Amino acid sequence: MVEWSQILAFQRSGIQPAGVDIVGILDEKVHQLLRDLPIVSTKIDAITQFLHVQFQGHDWTQSFARPQIIYYADALRPEILVALHQYLRTQCGNIENIYFFTSQNPGSDRWWHEWCQLYRDKSYRLVNWTPDHSFWLGNFDADQEPDLDHYFQQKMHALQHDSRLFMLLGGSATRNDRCYLAIRACDLYEDAYVDFMAPFPDLKSLLDYTENITYFCDQQEVDLITDLYDRYVLDGKFQCSYDRDVIPSIHAEKIDFQGPAWHLGQRCFFHLVRETFNDEVFASFTEKTLRSFAHFCIPLTVTHDLIRHLRDFGFWLPDDLVDYSYQTQASYHQRVTGAMDILASWRGRHQDLFRYMHDRKQLFIHNSRLALDMIRRSKIIDR
């Protein structure tokens, strides 16, 4: 019906593809509403009002004649889906001929279909594309095939001389789920590269969050967070477990085989991946996950049920090394605990991991090529 290249052409020039109407593209302004408002019902009402302003003047009766397209260029939240439905129900049109495209949230279409079935309601059609990551193409041309064998050998050489069990890269915003994961990672701090990049909240805020995600019934977890917070945060010096004078910030760094992120990635076996959203009922899939594959790391994602979608995209997962069943747990706390348990089980076994990587070289190269191809294909379309 509509191709990704047509969306990009509309973004650049405003040219509408034949046979459909691209009504608009929603971006980080919607996210800002989500961040600023604490109550879910208030968020939905605010987004609904925002949509009324955003699409003011558009004649939705055109949906009786031909498809109407809305594209959302960011990570998705359930509140956005509900607010869009709430808005479109007030318009005169054929809601089933309105399409909402997103590209970072595999599984959201299934969740939304089940939500509509639960309420026995007609809705717009939610469509998930393969994620677009053209922004993240690093310092090689889109037509160039990187010498992955060379970079894999470079990583193996680095692992022999200075290896860490895992790395956790930070992000640009402060949220309790990020703080919680970074604190849990500190439990294996001496064998990791942990980067936070944003200030921690006060201890009470973090403990309130911890009690909430453990359903107010896991005092041992609360005590663990308190102890780690005392040891790594209270002095106000916790930022990362590597020298920032040598390795600067990796925020928004392109994905390639040079720079700080690659310097860390080639020295780590596992990549503990925290996606844009991790507490949601469907997966989030961005450059954060792609980076782990591109740099020949073993991914440990704490995003709900993402592994299943990664298989669908064609990635090969090391099931003979990692039991990914933890990743299907509905609770974020349980997923983080499962990932940390796996890391703890491999502590002090670097040689075993090195031999595994040596023996399964083709798995790592396949995944790196697929991750980079996702980026390169987007970049080729965008030119």
pLDDT tens digits for the chain (383 residues)? 667 667 777 777 778 888 888 898 887 778 777 777 767 778 888 889 999 999 998 999 999 999 999 988 777 888 889 999 999 999 989 999 999 988 778 778 888 999 999 989 999 999 877 655 555 555 555 556 789 999 999 999 999 999 999 998 765 566 788 889 988 998 888 899 887 666 778 889 899 999 999 988 889 999 999 998 888 887 655 556 666 555 556 655 678 888 888 888 999 999 999 887 777 777 778 888 889 999 999 999 998 888 988 998 899 999 999 999 999 888 899 999 999 999 999 999 999 999 999 999 999 999 999 988 887 765 433 32
- Residue 131 pLDDT: 57
Q: Are 94 and 27 in a shared domain?
A: yes
- Is the overall model pTM greater than 0.85, yes or no? no
- Residue 383 pLDDT: 27
Q: Are 153 and 120 in a shared domain?
A: no
Separation of alpha carbons 163 and 320, rounded Å: 22
Q: Are 217 and 352 in a shared domain?
A: yes
Q: Are 97 and 147 in a shared domain?
A: no
Q: Is 210 exposed, middle or buried (0-12, 13-18, 19+ CB in 10 A)?
A: buried
Q: What is the CATH number of the domain that holds 272?
A: 3.40.50
| Residue that has been written with the tokens 């040079």 in this structure | 258
Q: Are 237 and 88 in a shared domain?
A: no
Q: Are 116 and 146 in a shared domain?
A: no
3-state secondary structure of 179: helix
Q: Are 185 and 307 in a shared domain?
A: yes
Q: Are 92 and 206 in a shared domain?
A: no
User: Which residue type, as a one-letter code, is found at position 270?
Assistant: F
Last residue in a domain, options 129, 148, 182: 129
Q: Is 222 exposed, middle or buried (0-12, 13-18, 19+ CB in 10 A)?
A: middle
Q: Is 103 exposed, middle or buried (0-12, 13-18, 19+ CB in 10 A)?
A: buried
- Residue 31 pLDDT: 73
Domain that holds residue 348: 138-382
Q: Are 153 and 147 in contact (CB under 8 A)?
A: no
Separation of alpha carbons 332 and 214, rounded Å: 9
| Residues 182, 235, 243, 355, CA torsion sign | negative
Q: Are 276 and 288 in contact (CB under 8 A)?
A: yes
